[in-house]
A = this chain, B = another copy of it.
Amino acid sequence: MGLTKTEIFTQEQNHLAVMLKAMAHPARIAILQQIIKANTCICGDLVEELGLAQATISQHLKELKTAGIIQGTIEGVSVCYCINPTVWNELQKQLSAFFSTYELKTNCC
C-alpha cells in the first residue's frame, strides 16, 4: 500500500485534493505569498528570502507548477514565476463553494 486509491473517488475530489496538497506545505505557502507580494514576478530571490537550499526551492516550485498554480517563463538567465490567474481563481471558487456547503445546524453533537 502507501498509495491513494484514487479510483474510488470522483474527479472533483481527486483534483481538489491535488491542489490542496500542492499548497499544504509551509515553504510552498511562503513561496506563494512572496510571489503575490512582489507584484512584479520574482525569481530565485526566494532562495534568499526563505532559508532553504536552492535545490529544495526549485523542487517546491516544480510542485506548484505541476499543480498549475504558478507558471514560469524564462527571463534571460533567470526564471520568472507568477500565479496562474485562471487556476488560482478556479481554486478559489471551488474552495469557496466547498466551505459554503456547510452551515451551522442547531442540533449537532
A8 within 8 A of B: yes
Q: CB-nearest residue of chain B relative to A100?
A: B92
- Counting chain A residues whose Cβ lies within 8 A of the other chain, the interface size class is 35 or more
* Closest B residue by C-beta to A102: B36
Q: Which chain B residue shows the least CB distance to A29?
A: B13
For the complex, what is the distance from the CA of A76 to the CA of B52, rounded to whole Å?
50
Q: How far is the CB of A2 from chain B (nearest CB, A)?
A: 12
Given contacts A20-B23, A33-B101, A99-B95, contact A8 B83 (CB under 8 A): no
Whether A71 pairs with B6 at a CB distance below 8 angstroms is no
Residues in chain A within 8 A of chain B (CB atoms) = 4-6, 8-9, 13-14, 16-17, 20-21, 23-30, 33, 36-37, 39-41, 50-52, 71-73, 75, 80-83, 85, 88, 91-92, 95-96, 98-99, 101-102, 104-105, 107-109
Question: Can you spell out 10 A-B residue pairs with CB atoms less than 8 angstroms apart?
Answer: A5-B51, A8-B51, A13-B33, A20-B20, A37-B101, A71-B109, A83-B102, A85-B104, A88-B99, A95-B95
